[in-house]
Structure 1
């Protein structure tokens, strides 16, 4: 019964997001060169703040759905910072699960990712990746974090 309820809720979210995407067509991306990869951590922080402001404005302009959350993330890779966007609170049905454990995006998920990339281009910021996290993935991540902390407390005791 719980699984059926979760599937119904996810399907309702997917339908609402699909309907929203159809009712709010995205204008074509502007012909502009996105900003280069940040060279320093301070430059990456400025780009992250600018991107966060632009994404918030895009949501208010109804260019991006307000259901998912958009979080610019700075990653230090090999001493050089890079910028990506994590999109959370995505309906599970936007991800088509496969038996090998991987997930592929549905067409609506691909369009949502493209809209975030377009919003980044509007901000003049080049992002390395746009990662969508489904409700199920978020729940599993939270359980793993909770389990890890519980084991740390038990080991310390």
Structure 2
């Protein structure tokens, strides 16, 4: 087993899950390309271009900005990995916006009739969900900070400083 882990880099369960995910992706691709090959190809190329040329630089810039602004904190503070408490809700909020942007920005004409809702409710709901995501992340960070400080006072440290934290 150690030889396999050294050769592959992870356990056999990881390899099995990876093979299963590739098989599922291959099955989905075959099914999609059988129905609408041109539309699927255009969608994949468009998604790759949108992600690599527009979205990746934007969220890399946002991440670097958050790191540079929040890096200037007192040196005596705890070294908890705080950045993921910003990244996760921002990612989830962005993903929700990406999926529902026609409704959020009132660009979808047929949906109000299909859903029975006015198109004026989606922006407020997306903002409310975004606020709840960041508030929940702040509560989790506050609880982790409290636990870290309590462990530091008693002498034992449960947290591993530096992992995913400041650079």
TM-score category, normalised to shorter length: under 0.3
Q: Which protein is richer in strand relative to its size?
A: 1
Q: Which protein is richer in helix relative to its size?
A: 2
Q: Highest CA radius of gyration, 1 or 2?
A: 2
Structure 1 length normalisation: TM-score? 0.25
Structure 2 length normalisation: TM-score? 0.24
